[in-house]
Amino acid sequence: YFAHVEQAPEDPILGITVAFNKDPSPVKVNLGVGAYRTEDGKPLVLDVVRQAEQQLISDESRNKEYLGITGITHFNRLSAQLILGSDSPAIAEKRVATAQCLSGTGSLRVGGEFLARHHSGPKIIYVPSPTWGNHFKIFPFAGLETKTYRYYDPKTKGLDYEGLLEDLRAAPKGAVVLLHACAHNPTGVDPSQEQWEGIRRVIREEKQLLPFFDSAYQGFASGSLDTDAWAVRRFVSDGGEVFAAQSYAKNMGLYGERVGALSIIVKEAGIATRVESQLKLVIRPMYSSPPTHGAAIVTRILSSKKLFDEWKVELKSMADRIISMRHELFEALKARQTPGNWEHILNQIGMFTFTGLSREQVEYMTREFHIYMTLDGRISMAGLNSQNVPQLADAMHSAVVD
């Protein structure tokens, strides 16, 4: 029955790690997947996560029972508060339906399928061009048609604001618009607050589009949880409907625990109750109910003032380390007099720099310098440290000059 099955290509992001693992070179560097590394190049388990795990282990009242279909209720409330703000009127008015899901991907997938079943507008989602590659797989499998809107301008290495507005204005009324809440992946280019306002006006007033935020980097981009949630909160504050997918992979370093949340903000409490009941019908046949451990860690951290305050300090130090790597890389290229303007390394936000390097240049850097990165020229800044910055700068210089 299966002789016809063809070899599938590796995932464009996770496949880079597969190739990296096969390379025997002692100097290899993985700047592909967005995963934080310490200054020593090691994965980091946050101290607050260790503390929360200790508490969980020593709490003998805990058991391994199934969670409910939408996960831990307390986790859901705390997650909604984290993204919307603890004083959010939408939460007070019970207009938010939240489900614990499997990190960002799972939250987007559940939200996408809910929309495919229940959205009374067109079942089309507009995603920025470019966007995280998985968006193009998640939404069609969920049952939504995927289209793109202009976002990044390679000439300025910044936002194509006019193109973005034009494309949203051309979208059919009621279509869904995927927005990166902060630290756009892969470009590191975010709208200014003024531009967000312009986008919001087109979405709300001109076209009645439906915003779906992908929030994978709250606190990780600027170092401030509130700053990084500004756009989501602005959209929610106008009283309109909003979808928000949250991931705790990056900001709590819980990558493999697969912990995240989908919040759907609607106009009345009664609607939120019915929406939640329908989310259960999406989730139950897909994976029954979510896993406990990661969400229990997050619940401990978000509900203890002590752990929450310590988390913010650790989060800020990760964000600051990444920002300092931007300066080191920029200075290293300047010192080598690498042709081109590299200011965008300093200006882009979050985990990634969208270098502007071509596929051929990236392949050359991998072949000659054992630098692994995605073929679109994206570098995970979180994988850099003072030891490997010179190697990356040499590789980039050589790729540009040769």
3-state secondary structure 232-257: HHHHHHCCCCEEEEEECCCCCCCHHH
What are the DSSP calls for 309-375, one per residue?
Answer: HHHHHHHHHHHHHHHHHHHHHHHHHHHTT-SS--HHHHHS-SSEEE----HHHHHHHHHHH-EE--T
Q: Using the rule CB under 6 A, which residue among 79, 185, 251, 391 binds ligand LMR?
A: 185
CB atoms within 10 A of CB 159: 20
Tell me whether residue 23 is one of the annotated catalytic residues. Answer: no
Question: Of the listed 28, 123, 157, 250, which one is catalytic?
Answer: 250
The tokens for 60 are 């003998």
Q: Rounded to an integer, what distance in angstroms lies between the CA atom of residue 201 and that of residue 385?
A: 41
| 236 is a contact residue toward ligand LMR (CB under 6 A) | no
> Which segments of 87-192 are extended strands (E)?
96-101, 124-129, 145-150, 152-153, 158-159, 176-180
Using rule CB under 6 A, residue 361 touches ligand LMR: no
Query: 160 or 214, CB closer to ligand LMR?
Result: 214
Between 34 and 211, name the residue whose CB sits nearer to ligand LMR.
Answer: 34
Eight-state DSSP code of residue 219: T
Instruction: Tell me how far, at minimum, the Cβ of 357 lies from ligand LMR, in Å.
Output: 17
Name the β-bridge partners of 124.
145
Based on the residue annotation, tell me whether 132 is a catalytic residue of this protein.
Answer: yes
Tokens describing residue 115: 């929309």
Q: Which lies closer to ligand LMR via its Cβ, residue 134 or residue 237? A: 134
Among 20, 28, 29, 34, the residue binding ligand LMR under the rule CB under 6 A is 34
Task: Name the active-site residue from 28, 123, 132, 157.
Answer: 132
Residue span 93-132 as binding mask against ligand LMR, x where in contact by CB under 6 A, dash where not: ---------------------------------------x
| CA dihedral over 308, 309, 310, 311, signed as positive or negative | positive
Q: Produce one character per residue of 304-335: b if its CB has 16 or more CB atoms within 10 Å, e if not.
A: beebbebbeebbbebbebbbebbebbbebbee
Q: How far is the CB of 402 from ligand LMR (least distance, A)?
A: 28
Q: Which helix (H) or strand (E) holds 23?
A: none
Q: Is residue 264 at the binding interface for ligand LMR, with CB under 6 A as the rule?
A: no
Q: How many residues bind ligand LMR (CB under 6 A)?
A: 6
- Which residue is it, tokens 């969400």? 295
**364-385 per-residue burial string, b: 16 or more CB within 10 A, e: under 16:** bbbeebbbbbbbbbbbbbbbbb
Q: How far is the CB of 129 from ligand LMR (least distance, A)?
A: 16
Among 13, 80, 329, 362, binds ligand LMR (CB under 6 A): 13
Considering only residues 132 to 171 of the shown chain, the ones binding ligand LMR according to CB under 6 A are 132, 134
Catalytic member of 214, 228, 376, 394: 214
Residue 33 binding ligand LMR, by CB under 6 A: yes
Catalytic, 250? Answer yes
Cβ-based nearer residue to ligand LMR, 126 or 352: 352
Please, are residues 325 and 384 in contact by the beta-carbon 8 Å criterion?
Answer: yes
To the nearest whole angstrom, how small is the minimum distance from the Cβ of residue 191 to ligand LMR? 20
d(CA 289, CA 256): 17
- State in angstroms the smallest separation of the CB of 134 from ligand LMR: 6
3-state secondary structure of 8: coil
Q: Least distance to ligand LMR from the beta carbon of 14, Å?
A: 6
Residue 183 found at the interface with ligand LMR (CB under 6 A): no
Residue 350 in contact with ligand LMR, rule: CB under 6 A: no
Residue 354 CB, shortest distance to ligand LMR, in Å, is 12
The reply to whether 189 sits near ligand LMR by the rule CB under 6 A is no
Q: Which residues bind ligand LMR (CB under 6 A)?
A: 13, 33-34, 132, 134, 185
Residues forming the active site = 132, 214, 250
